[in-house]
A and B are shown apart, each in its own frame.
Chain A
């Protein structure tokens, strides 16, 4: 190409070998454009994260005064169902009697409840297998082989501390962050 030949000839003051001024400018310009392009992608990705009004719903207060021992209430936190279970003495004893080291996801009842409020088992009602709501909250529902919860989708059994005992779920029911603001009210999230 006649055109190419004379345009591509290095000017007399440029070295034939090594890094030419043009190489430097080329790499610098393409790098700046590349970095800029990547940074421009960040807001396009970030816009899909939970937005401010979703995060504003991230904390709820629940009044527990009407929940009798043996009763479980279902509420909603961050648009996810939540179990709040008032454990009976028997259920607490049962949970404490388990050999923790034999569990799939070893945790004691104390680790899964607030200090001084061991009778309140607060966990997400979301099976850690694939996200169904386990049974066992309402009276008459199947509580599974270990008296806690039973997920009908794929047969995961949870005990009275919400720990996985049998079935495909990999971990215990998730305990959210919460704090008791009085003996009968709890702030979740």
Chain B
């Protein structure tokens, strides 16, 4: 794949040669994450986050599989079985806290990964499919995280199931039947818990499949880079192994240290105390919010308070789903031929406004549903959609990009190659 100067896989010993002719998995690995995959030489640390997201998914799958050996998806027993994991199962507390906080860390690295793609124009041609698959993965992650959150069958679990399936009840005509179909009843109960457990086990493997497609689509044009300009020749790339395996290894170390600090010293910091109370269908917790990674979307959902042609409730649901669906159209909304925000003076400003806007939405989504938070949510929601639907199409026409470097090598080493060479050798 990718560039003609990629290193060729040559099996060294007879067994590898035998294997290569029959099932060339070592060749596939070599060409995907080995020396056979040439990568732009100038990737910064933001390019670690794809590998970190993969690592986070693997941690979730491994800890999830072992947790499923002890968990009971039955409305009367689920809560007790989670406490059983925490107290009785050998290392159960560690595995559950890893899984629980691992979900948050998965979203942290994925959100940084997405913002990196937004800033450096990784969604633009020829990488539109990579971006689209990424948005699909994000949607699958959200579904998986939501259903996983229901499984402990605490108060927040139960009311999350009630509220989120309630979103579908906003759809005219079929809404109510749809919610009952999703729940398998009139309120969350055993049927809900069992289907959510089944799907929560299934979806991570669907995500894994999408990631394989995501990487496949990526490796055809090769990775984008901080300058956003195309690779011009062998001098612009270095082999993935050992250069980026080493860099990703370092990043993975930092990631695991951060995860370990939270797991060992603040394991419930990212959770809600109410979820250690068993589900009670007759009492809603006073302050009900989703997990932090859904806050921006939750703020958009709650921003609609007035009926306008359609009910406010329906507008909220439409807007919340639209806030992600709009990302599918991003490659065609931003028509600027320049990828990297580094060379786009206007885009750069609006990009940071968007970052602040989304952080503000996150804060507002976690705040109570009262003034002044509702008004700020409305303003932030308007900006969110305006950014993608109005600002990006406009600035891609009016903006005058800065001059692009002639090549990646020139951008890294400067124009004077004679003095630059020894620096590269260090």
Q: Which residues on the B side are within 8 Å of A33 (C-beta)?
A: 249, 253
Tell whether, in the assembled complex, residue B94 and residue A43 are in contact, meaning their CB atoms are under 8 Å apart: yes
Q: Which residues on the A side are within 8 Å of B424 (C-beta)?
A: 6-7
Q: In B39-95, which residues have CB < 8 Å from any A CB?
A: 41, 62-63, 66, 69-70, 84, 87-92, 94-95
Tell whether, in the assembled complex, residue B238 and residue A43 are in contact, meaning their CB atoms are under 8 Å apart: no
In the complex, what distance in Å separates the CA atom of A9 from the CA atom of B421?
12
With A11-B425, A29-B249, A33-B249 in contact, do A47 and B89 touch (Cβ < 8 Å)? Answer: yes
Q: In B19-37, which residues have CB < 8 Å from any A CB?
A: none
- Give the shortest distance, in Å, between B353 (CB) and chain A (any CB): 39
Tell whether, in the assembled complex, residue A47 and residue B235 are in contact, meaning their CB atoms are under 8 Å apart: no
In the complex, what distance in Å separates the CA atom of A2 from the CA atom of B233?
10
B7 on the A face (CB < 8 A): yes
A65 on the B face (CB < 8 A): no
In the complex, what distance in Å separates the CA atom of A46 from the CA atom of B239?
39
Tell whether, in the assembled complex, residue B88 and residue A47 are in contact, meaning their CB atoms are under 8 Å apart: no
Tell whether, in the assembled complex, residue A47 and residue B237 are in contact, meaning their CB atoms are under 8 Å apart: no
With A9-B425, A29-B249, A33-B249 in contact, do A3 and B94 touch (Cβ < 8 Å)? Answer: no
Q: Report which of A43, A44, A53 forms a contact with B88, defined as CB distance below 8 A.
A: A53
In the complex, what distance in Å separates the CA atom of A4 from the CA atom of B41?
11
Q: Which residues on the A side are within 8 Å of B181 (C-beta)?
A: none
In the complex, what distance in Å separates the CA atom of A7 from the CA atom of B242?
12
- Give the shortest distance, in Å, between A123 (CB) and chain B (any CB): 29
A99 on the B face (CB < 8 A): no
Tell whether, in the assembled complex, residue A4 and residue B239 are in contact, meaning their CB atoms are under 8 Å apart: yes
Tell whether, in the assembled complex, residue A6 and residue B425 are in contact, meaning their CB atoms are under 8 Å apart: yes
Tell whether, in the assembled complex, residue B66 and residue A44 are in contact, meaning their CB atoms are under 8 Å apart: yes
Complex: chain B residue closest to A33, CB-CB: B249
Q: In B409-426, which residues have CB < 8 Å from any A CB?
A: 421, 424-426
A52 on the B face (CB < 8 A): yes
Tell whether, in the assembled complex, residue A1 and residue B5 are in contact, meaning their CB atoms are under 8 Å apart: yes
B267 on the A face (CB < 8 A): no
Tell whether, in the assembled complex, residue A3 and residue B238 are in contact, meaning their CB atoms are under 8 Å apart: yes
- Give the shortest distance, in Å, between A7 (CB) and chain B (any CB): 7
Q: In A48-73, which residues have CB < 8 Å from any B CB?
A: 48-49, 51-54
Q: Interface readout for A1-34 with B: 1 if CB under 8 Å, 0 if not?
A: 1111011010100000000000000000100010
For the A-B complex, the count of residue pairs with Cβ-Cβ distances under 8 Å equals 62
Q: Report which of B63, B69, B425 forms a contact with A7, defined as CB distance below 8 A.
A: B425
Q: Which residues on the A side are within 8 Å of B237 (C-beta)?
A: 3
With A1-B234, A3-B234, A44-B62 in contact, do A52 and B87 touch (Cβ < 8 Å)? Answer: yes
Tell whether, in the assembled complex, residue B90 and residue A47 are in contact, meaning their CB atoms are under 8 Å apart: yes
Q: Which residues on the B side are within 8 Å of A46 (C-beta)?
A: 90-91
Q: Report which of B69, B246, B253, B421 forms a contact with A47, defined as CB distance below 8 A.
A: B69
Q: Interface readout for A34-48 with B: 1 if CB under 8 Å, 0 if not?
A: 000000001110111
Per the CB 8 Å criterion, the residue count for chain A at the interface is 21
Complex: chain B residue closest to A4, CB-CB: B239
- Give the shortest distance, in Å, between B89 (CB) and chain A (any CB): 5
Complex: chain B residue closest to A53, CB-CB: B88
Q: Which residues on the A side are within 8 Å of B66 (C-beta)?
A: 44, 47-48
Tell whether, in the assembled complex, residue A3 and residue B91 are in contact, meaning their CB atoms are under 8 Å apart: no
In the complex, what distance in Å separates the CA atom of A33 from the CA atom of B256?
11
Tell whether, in the assembled complex, residue A6 and residue B91 are in contact, meaning their CB atoms are under 8 Å apart: no
Tell whether, in the assembled complex, residue A47 and residue B92 are in contact, meaning their CB atoms are under 8 Å apart: yes
In the complex, what distance in Å separates the CA atom of A164 from the CA atom of B92?
41
Q: Which residues on the A side are within 8 Å of B7 (C-beta)?
A: 1
Tell whether, in the assembled complex, residue B41 and residue A51 are in contact, meaning their CB atoms are under 8 Å apart: no
- Give the shortest distance, in Å, between B33 (CB) and chain A (any CB): 16
Q: Report which of B90, B249, B253 forms a contact with A43, defined as CB distance below 8 A.
A: B90
With A4-B239, A9-B425 in contact, do A51 and B234 touch (Cβ < 8 Å)? Answer: no
Q: Which residues on the A side are within 8 Å of B92 (C-beta)?
A: 47, 51
Q: Interface readout for B142-169 with A: 1 if CB under 8 Å, 0 if not?
A: 0000000000000000000000000000
With A52-B87, A53-B84 in contact, do A47 and B95 touch (Cβ < 8 Å)? Answer: yes
Tell whether, in the assembled complex, residue A51 and residue B249 are in contact, meaning their CB atoms are under 8 Å apart: no
In the complex, what distance in Å separates the CA atom of A4 from the CA atom of B239?
8
- Give the shortest distance, in Å, between B79 (CB) and chain A (any CB): 16
Tell whether, in the assembled complex, residue B235 and residue A49 are in contact, meaning their CB atoms are under 8 Å apart: no
Complex: chain A residue closest to B92, CB-CB: A47
With A3-B234, A48-B69 in contact, do A43 and B91 touch (Cβ < 8 Å)? Answer: yes
Tell whether, in the assembled complex, residue A47 and residue B425 are in contact, meaning their CB atoms are under 8 Å apart: no
Q: Which residues on the A side are within 8 Å of B238 (C-beta)?
A: 3-4, 7
- Give the shortest distance, in Å, between B23 (CB) and chain A (any CB): 25
In the complex, what distance in Å separates the CA atom of A42 from the CA atom of B66?
12
In the complex, what distance in Å separates the CA atom of A136 from the CA atom of B128?
75
Complex: chain B residue closest to A43, CB-CB: B91
In the complex, what distance in Å separates the CA atom of A23 from the CA atom of B176?
65
Tell whether, in the assembled complex, residue A47 and residue B234 are in contact, meaning their CB atoms are under 8 Å apart: no
Q: Which residues on the B side are within 8 Å of A52 (C-beta)?
A: 87-90
In the complex, what distance in Å separates the CA atom of A6 from the CA atom of B66?
47
Q: Interface readout for B231-274 with A: 1 if CB under 8 Å, 0 if not?
A: 00011011100000010010001000000000000000000000
Q: Closest 5 interchain pairs by CB?
A: A43-B91, A52-B88, A51-B88, A53-B88, A46-B90
Instruction: Enumerate chain B interface residues (CB-CB to A < 8 A).
Output: 5, 7, 41, 62-63, 66, 69-70, 84, 87-92, 94-95, 234-235, 237-239, 246, 249, 253, 421, 424-426
Could you name 6 residue pairs across A and B whose Cβ atoms are closer than 8 Å? A2-B234, A42-B91, A43-B95, A44-B63, A47-B91, A52-B89
